[in-house]
Amino acid sequence: MSRNKKSRKLGSLMTVLERKPKKQELLADPTSKESRRKKALEQRKKHQAIADRNKDATMPAKERDIKAGRKGTRHGGPLADKIRKLNAEKREHEQAANE
């Protein structure tokens, strides 16, 4: 049995352009590296100014959630209601014990 030497084979020949594509042409093509890079830079999260961060700190939590795009369900739900109910009962028992 004879062994064949490995050889490199060209899968598909790449066409060589006469000139390099211009930047605008690269940006127009959505699959090019340039356009993907530009899109990623635009989508990158922007840092907030310190004054804006301080303004958000004084804002109530529910407003902050709504502004950030969250539903504001942070203080809702059946478990939260159950905990509030238990805490209210606990306070009532403590007040009754103190009197």
Single pTM value for the model: 0.32
**How are the residues of the chain apportioned to helix, strand and coil, as percentages rounded to the nearest 5?**
60, 0, 40
Residue 35 contacts residue 27 (beta carbons within 8 Å): yes
Nearest to residue 76, comparing CAs of 89, 88, 62, 90? 62
- Series of mean pLDDT values for 10-residue runs along the chain (99 residues): 74 71 86 90 82 78 76 70 92 91
Kindly state whether residue 5 falls inside one of the protein's structural domains.
no
Kindly state whether residue 31 falls inside one of the protein's structural domains.
no
Kindly state whether residue 65 falls inside one of the protein's structural domains.
yes
Kindly state whether residue 20 falls inside one of the protein's structural domains.
no
Kindly state whether residue 93 falls inside one of the protein's structural domains.
no
Kindly state whether residue 55 falls inside one of the protein's structural domains.
yes
Nearest to residue 23, comparing CAs of 34, 9, 38, 11? 34
Domain count within the chain: 1
- Domain interval for residue 55: 48-72
Question: What span, in angstroms and rounded, lies between the C-alpha atoms of 24 and 54?
Answer: 41
